[in-house]
Amino acid sequence: MSETGRPLFERLRYCVRCCMPSTNVGMQFDELGICLACRSSEEKMHINWIERQKQLKEILEKYKSKSENNYDCIIPVSGGKDSCFQLHILTKIYGMKPLAVTFSHNWYSKTGWYNLWNMLDKLNVDHIMFTPNRNLINRLAKQSLKGIGDPCWHCHMGVGTFPLQVAIKFKIPLIIWGESVAEGTGRATYSSPLKEFDRDYFVRNSARLYPDQMVSDNITKKDIYPFQLPSPEEIEKIGIIGLHLGDFIFWDSERQVEFIK
C-alpha cells in the first residue's frame, strides 16, 4: 500500500496548514490544529500598520531627544537580510544615529563576511564586534548539542548578551532588533506577544540555558564569562528597553531581500 502523504513520524503533531511540527521550539496549536505562525500571518493582514509606525516614530523621537551627546540606539547586526534592512530603515528613513553591534559566532562564510562589511560601509555607521575564539566555540558547540539540541547556544546567548553589555558600557538604553518573534516562529502572535523584553529574554526564547549551566569538564566559568548577562541593577540603572522593528512595520522578508540586492 502506498505511504504517500503519511507523516514521517506518526507521533509528531503537525500544523494542518503549513505542516510545521510540534518539535519546533515553543510551538502551539489552536483548536483547529493551526499553529501560531499561521495565525500570525492572518493577523498581520488586519493590523493598522500606519498607526504602528506612528508609535515607532514616537519611541524613536523620545530616545533621540535624550541622546544629544551619545548614540540614539543600539542595532544588533549580523550582515544578513534582516539586520541590513533594519539598519537601512532606522538610518535612512528615521534618521537615527545608531551604534551597530555584532556578536560574531565565528562561523562566517566569505559571503557573509563580505555582506556585513559591505552593509556597514554603505550605510556609514559606527560598529563594534566581539568574536570568541574558535577553540571555545568548538567546545561550546559540542556542549550545546547535549544541552539544547542544536550546536548554536553561543549564537543565541551571544546575540542576547553582547548588545546588553555594550548598552551598559556606552549608556545607550534603546536596543532595536529586526524581525518580530511573531513572524513565523510559532512562539507568539501579533495579538499575543511574548513577555516584555528584559535581561532574560533571549535565554527564555532561544538560548534556554544560562552560562553557568554550560560549565563542564572542558568549559570553565572563566571561559563563559563573556556570555554572562549584566545584573538587573545595571540594566535598571540605564533603563534599557528592547523592541523589534517587525512589530511596528509590515515585515516582508522576500521583498526586503530584493530591495537589499
Q: CB within 8 A of 254, min separation 6: which ones?
A: none
- Asked if residue 134 has pLDDT above 70, the reply is yes
- At 8 the pLDDT is 66
Q: Are 16 and 8 in contact (CB under 8 A)?
A: no
Q: Average pLDDT for residues 15-29, to the nearest whole number?
A: 85
Buried b (16+ CB within 10 A) or exposed e, 18-50: eebeeebeebbbeeeebbbbbbbbeebeeeeee
Q: Is 146 helix (H, G, I), strand (E, B) or coil?
A: helix
- At 1 the pLDDT is 43
Name the CA radius of gyration of the chain, rounded. Answer: 20
Cell readout for 81 is: 537580510
Task: Tell me the pTM.
Answer: 0.91
pLDDT digit string, tens, across residues 206-252: 899 999 999 999 999 999 999 999 999 999 999 999 999 999 999 99
pLDDT digit string, tens, across residues 154-210: 999 999 999 999 999 999 999 999 998 888 776 778 887 777 788 999 998 889 999
- Asked if residue 133 has pLDDT above 90, the reply is yes
Q: Is 110 helix (H, G, I), strand (E, B) or coil?
A: helix
Q: Average pLDDT for residues 79-88, to the nearest whole number?
A: 94
Q: How far apart are the first and last CA of the chain?
A: 48
Helix (H) / strand (E) element for 201: namely helix 201-202
Q: Which amino acid is at 206?
A: S
Residue keyed to cell 502506498: 2
Cβ neighbours, 10 Å, residue 153: 26
Catalogue the E-assigned strands of the chain: 73-76, 98-103, 126-130, 174-177, 241-244
CA distances from 208 to 104, 172, 191, 218 (A): 19, 26, 24, 20
- Please tell me the least confidently modeled range out of 28-37, 118-127, 141-150: 28-37
Q: Whose CA is closest to 80, among 113, 121, 107, 52?
A: 113
- Asked if residue 49 has pLDDT above 60, the reply is yes
Q: What is the rounded average pLDDT for all residues in the chain?
A: 91
